[in-house]
Structure 1
Amino acid sequence: MEKTTGAIGRVGPDHARAEARLAIFEAGHPTHALSQKGVAAGPGHRLFIATPRGPAPSGGWPVLYLLDGNAAFDFLTPDHLAQAEGLALVGIGYDTDRQFAREQRTFDFTAPDGPGDGIRPDPVHEGRMAGGAAQFLDRLTGVLRAAAEDGLRVDPSRRTLWGHSFGGLFTLYAALRRPGSFARFAAISPSIWWDEALIRRVAAGADPKARPPLLVALGDREKRSGSDGPPPDGPAPATMDFVDSLRRHPGLDPQVHVLPGLRHIETIAGSLPLAIRFAAGA
């Protein structure tokens, strides 16, 4: 994986700067109607919505919320939609033409730490800020959810949150700190490495009565974005150890799936069939 250097010297993988083509919007689909809308909340968001065709069930549609919606819908395929018949999909993206809003997602998807509001300089990425997860979770379950579900009949008891990489880290944070915010949680290739001690403190403070269904998936050829050397042969040990520690938490029994042959960016598309079945309750 080649690395690129930005205008102020930051180094990152090529895929982190990729344009979101959103080819899924270029044709009609027999199972879903696709739409987009902007929301002027926070830094500015774009919502990508796939609504099942036909009348909604009496209780409303189950819905799968996808963080990094620009990227998630860029990797979404007609085959994924065919597998998601009867399931609404909502991508929570940013107002950008890129797959990822790198600085903003770092802030939004990382847990607060320290005194006051817990916002601090990112200890890993120079020039970025971190610790905005509590604020983002309020925005996600407030104005963003309201905008996404305006005109969309949703079953409130069947909302699932999916996140990849930093989004996976945020999904773990939400599941551990506010397990009632969604019915189910799917953390894909979560960035445990970013501040492992912090996410372990979050887990240690979780409500022992909470039992949210949790799915964790990761590839066996992943390495930290921008790092040198060949891909590893096996899933990230830190992630596997953290998930194992969650099993010792009362009420938590995460499903774990190792996706063979997949690198970090590839687990976005690779995890979607799992997440679709999980969100549908299968």
Structure 2
Amino acid sequence: MSDTGRVRPDHAQNPATLRIFDTGAPTHRLSQMSVACGPGHRLFLAVPKAKAPPGGWPVLYLLDGNAAFDFLTPEHLAAVPGLVLVGVGYDTDRQFARERRTMDFTAPDGPGDGLRPDPVHPGRTAGGASLFLDRLTGELREAAEQGLPIDPARRCLWGHSFGGLFVLYALLTRPGTFARFASISPSIWWDEPLIRRVAAQAGRIEPPPPLLMALGDREKRSGSDGPPPDGPAPATMQFIADLRDGQGLAPQVHVLPGLIHIQTIAGSLPLVLPFAAG
């Protein structure tokens, strides 16, 4: 079946209205910039108006930045007046760049750059997570933090869905790239044997970085038919248990009652903001 014949989630084509840039926020200065690396990225920044502490501000990087900042409110920012937020998005007016995030957020399977046809979404390319992680911790981080007093020991990475899968990949392959990790509704179903091989190759991670995981109890796989399930995804819950046993991690786990997949973006923000600021 072609990708156009698949059942698409309602949010797949949603525009990013980015209302917070119209309303502003009493605690943070908001700005946007374009970065001409990779496919072209947009960075969305919320920088505290308060004076930075002697060691610099903590910073939270939010993947799918167009969507993440679409769900961000002044009230969210008011709860963390000393936290920098960086939304890492794409050069699109939609919340999601589906083809780009499929490539960037999925793990390579083999030597070299690992790019290959997506086994789940015909017509898409997958396997670029290592390349994107280089870009994220290189040109994109440099552009985002330029001129800002950032504490390099207090960087946190957040991702949702495929972004949550990428957060797990980054944690398992290069745990030193961020100090904290937040994986929200990770798409464990996408080539589950692959992410399990990545975990097995990682072994125990010492010291184990703080990890926050959250998922709704009414989620179903994006684009699938049928009613939502009653309870969190068993594969994700089992993977969390295996991270404890195999990698020595101690994730904070939050099951968000009544939330479907797209709703866990907003549902996770009150959890991850203080986590990143801590």
Gap regions ≥5 residues in structure 1:
none
Shift of 1:117: 2.5
- Number of aligned residue pairs: 277
Q: Of the candidates 137, 153, 159, which is equivalent to residue 141 of structure 1?
A: 137
How far apart are the structure 2 equivalents of 1:151 and 1:34? 15
User: How high is the TM-score relative to the length of structure 1?
Assistant: 0.95
Distance, in Å, in 2 between the alignment partners of 1:34 and 1:188 is: 24
In structure 1, how many angstroms separate the alpha carbons of the residues matched to 2:113 and 2:150? Answer: 33
Q: Partners of 1:46 and 1:166 in 2: how far apart?
A: 18
Change (3 A) 1:262 1:209: closer
Report the equivalent of 2:204: 208
Paired residue secondary structure (1:50)? strand
- Consecutive unaligned residues of structure 2, counting only runs of 5 or more, are none
Specify which of 84, 106, 124 is matched with residue 110 of structure 1. 106
Q: Give the distance between the partners of 1:118 and 1:27, measured in 2 at CA.
A: 42
Distance 1:105 1:82, change over 3 A: same
Aligned match of 2:51? 55
TM-score by length of 2: 0.97
Superposition CA RMSD, Å: 1.5
- Residue 161 of structure 1 aligns to a residue whose secondary structure is strand
Give 1:1-282 correspondences, 5 Å limit: 8-210=4-206, 211-281=208-278
Cα deviations across residues 9-58 of structure 1 (Å, max 9, x unaligned)? 45411201100000010023111010000000000000000000121111
Change (3 A) 1:229 1:10: closer
Give the ranges of 4+ consecutive aligned residues of structure 1 lying more than 3 Å apart after TM superposition: 5-11
Instruction: Name the CA distance, whole Å, in 1 between partners of 2:2 and 2:109.
Output: 28
The 1:223–1:43 alpha-carbon spacing in structure 2 relative to 1, beyond 3 Å, is same
Does the Cα contact within 8 Å between 1:46 and 1:93 map onto a contact in 2? yes
Once residues 6 and 140 of structure 2 are traced to their aligned partners in structure 1, the CA distance between those partners, rounded to angstroms, is: 30
Of stretches 13-22 and 108-117 in structure 1, the one that deviates more from structure 2 is 108-117
Is contact 1:177–1:207 with CA below 8 Å preserved after alignment?
no
